[in-house]
Amino acid sequence: MRRTYNKFCPTESVTARSIHVARKDALKRFYECGFPYSRKLTAHKSCVNYLAFSRHDGRWLASAGDDFRVLLWDFSEEDVVRPGHVFTGPSGNVLALDFSATNQYLYSGGADNITLKYDVSTLRGVGRSNGRGSSSFVKQYEDHDDSVRALTCHPYEDEIFLSASEDGKLVLHDGRAGGGMSTAQGTLQHTASFTGVQHHPVMEHVFATCDVHGQVCLRDTRMTFGPLSTRSNGGIVRVYNTKLSRKSARYLSNPESSSLTFDRDGSKLAVTFLHYFPTIYALSDPHPLAICTGRNAPNGTQISPPQRTYTNSCTMKSGAFGGPGMDEDDMYGAGSDDFRAYVWKIPPLMTLQGLRKEITSYDWYTREWPDTVAFAEGKWESRYVPFEISTPLARLNGHKSIVNAVAIHPSLLHVVTSGVERQIMLHSPIPSSPAVQNLLPTPPTVRTLQPQDIAAQRTFLRALFGPHPTLREEVEEEEGEDETISLFDHILREEGEADVFTVRRWGEDSAEDSEDEDEDSEETVID
């Protein structure tokens, strides 16, 4: 008698499920130890502002900053110690990078108001022996009148990307022949400077933006660009709740939303706020689900003054989701003013929704809520208190100053961080991997920010009035970096403890604030 089998092949599915669970358990044990091993990747000559891994396989790490160069580090090598290629062309500090859908192109933008396109496909066959070289851009875009703060590429088309600038312009670029859209039709003029833009990783018409007024929006390209007849409300399909409320303040606060990013399937959105904590949203929910703080050390013990913990008050920072070796991004990383980067494990969205607290307007004003900071869409609206992820999975040391950028490798167990220094830190839970060998333990502590003395004051003045570090001879680079660090130390002393409710006030009881709110909702269309 012939034996029949269930068409779903239960034995195979159970085996696959067991392998999947075993892999996640093994990775969990790695991650529970944090990322205690690291290496400095040294090639830049000044601050490194942005990091981006190429999509899918993560072969390339792109890095760029204040030395007007874009470096590519090849993670297909057995031991990554220096860049495999250098792209030249920027004439100002580079602030943003992104790889195209198939990694054929890399785009950069920055303080020179220009976006540059580089051809990565010509480097596909580069080997270890001949991989060191440099080349220039293949195309430049001059659509902006101020710094290009963010770039994001279409999830499926190599020739399509969005650029966002401090001039308030959001530009859709389509390099395909006969794109069918004029420059005006591909531009949206906003009333505030854009600080971030991110394409949804799956839905090709959906993207998110953030700006200096704190507004975070989900938009649809079909409603944002094109002829006037097809545009609607600046393409906005959802506005996220970003204003803060505290009982001791009679007004709300609207922190600047300085960057944003989706996870790999687009179900989560993370926003970095100036003077506040990274905040996690679900795509379909306007109210925040979680905030990521560093009140506790990774072992769960509470951080007490004078020890410093996560803050973001001084520089432009970008975060990243990741989940190397897993089928979902359950980690999020961001840089901090305390000379560290942080990685948090993000609980499932359903769990966070159950942990979030909703407070009616009546309860908010009739009860005491000591030390509670909530999100509110208006002064008389309900309050939402997101769950606080107070214990990070890891605090990444190794830096001597502010950390601005974090990138998580899509498959290997590596996190890379950069900031005010010219070095990139490569972190790992293990000393060796297919791409790096013989990493050393990371120092367990970071440099302490000291009160300014006479020597520090002199270094600060040299940094303020001396030549730019990129113009110095190589023998003076270390001195130049010390001056840069001193400059940011001074900024930290002046601005590092600022209260968001003091520096970012928003209130419905103020005519001026009401006008600002109206401006936030306006979009200018160009046709």
Structure tokens at 197: 């833009």
Q: In sequence order, what DSSP letters do the residues of 394-446 get, joined into one string?
A: EEE---SS-EEEEEE-SSSS-EEEEESSSEEEEEESSS--SS----EEPPSS-
Instruction: Report the alpha-carbon distance of residue 334 to residue 405 in Å, rounded.
Output: 7
Q: Check pLDDT > 50 for residue 130.
A: no
Instruction: Report the alpha-carbon distance of residue 322 to residue 62 in Å, rounded.
Output: 17
Which segment of 25-39, 289-303, 324-338, 350-364 scores lowest on mean pLDDT? 25-39
**CA distances for 415 relative to 52, 322, 345, angstroms:** 11, 9, 14
Helix axes 477-495, 454-465, angle to 10 degrees: 110
* Confidence band, pLDDT 50/70/90 cuts, at residue 510: very low
Which segment of 32-41, 305-314, 443-452 scores lowest on mean pLDDT? 443-452
Instruction: Report the alpha-carbon distance of residue 69 to residue 60 in Å, rounded.
Output: 15
Name every residue whose Cβ is closer than 8 Å to that of residue 232 and which is 6 or more positions away in sequence: 223
* Confidence band, pLDDT 50/70/90 cuts, at residue 486: confident
pLDDT of residue 519: 43
pLDDT of residue 228: 86
Query: Tell me: the pLDDT tens digits for 218-228?
Result: 999 999 999 88
Structure tokens at 124: 């596909």
Instruction: Report the alpha-carbon distance of residue 430 to residue 148 in Å, rounded.
Output: 37
Residue 266 CA from chain centroid, whole number: 15
Q: Which of 134, 90, 96 is nearest to 114 (CA)?
A: 90
Q: Check pLDDT > 60 for residue 459.
A: no
Q: Check pLDDT > 50 for residue 527.
A: no
Q: Which of 419, 393, 371 is nearest to 323 (CA)?
A: 393
Q: Check pLDDT > 90 for residue 235.
A: yes
Which segment of 40-49, 116-125, 314-323 scores lowest on mean pLDDT? 116-125
Stronger pLDDT, 486 or 466, i.e. the higher one: 486
Instruction: Report the alpha-carbon distance of residue 489 to residue 481 in Å, rounded.
Output: 12
Q: Are strands 194-199 and 206-211 parallel, antiparallel or unpaired?
A: antiparallel
Q: Check pLDDT > 70 for residue 9.
A: no
Sign of the CA dihedral with 290 first, then 295, 299, and 301 last: negative
Amino acid letter, 178:
G
8 in helix, strand or coil? Answer: coil
Q: Is 35-448+497-525 a CATH 2.130.10.10 domain? A: yes
Region for 481 from its dihedrals, namely left if φ exceeds 0, alpha if ψ lies in -120 to 50, beta otherwise: alpha
Q: Which of 153, 175, 148 is nearest to 164 (CA)?
A: 148
**CA distances for 497 relative to 114, 291, 317, 329, 445, angstroms:** 34, 19, 17, 32, 21
Stronger pLDDT, 125 or 333, i.e. the higher one: 333
* Confidence band, pLDDT 50/70/90 cuts, at residue 177: low
Q: Which of 204, 203, 219 is nearest to 160 (CA)?
A: 204
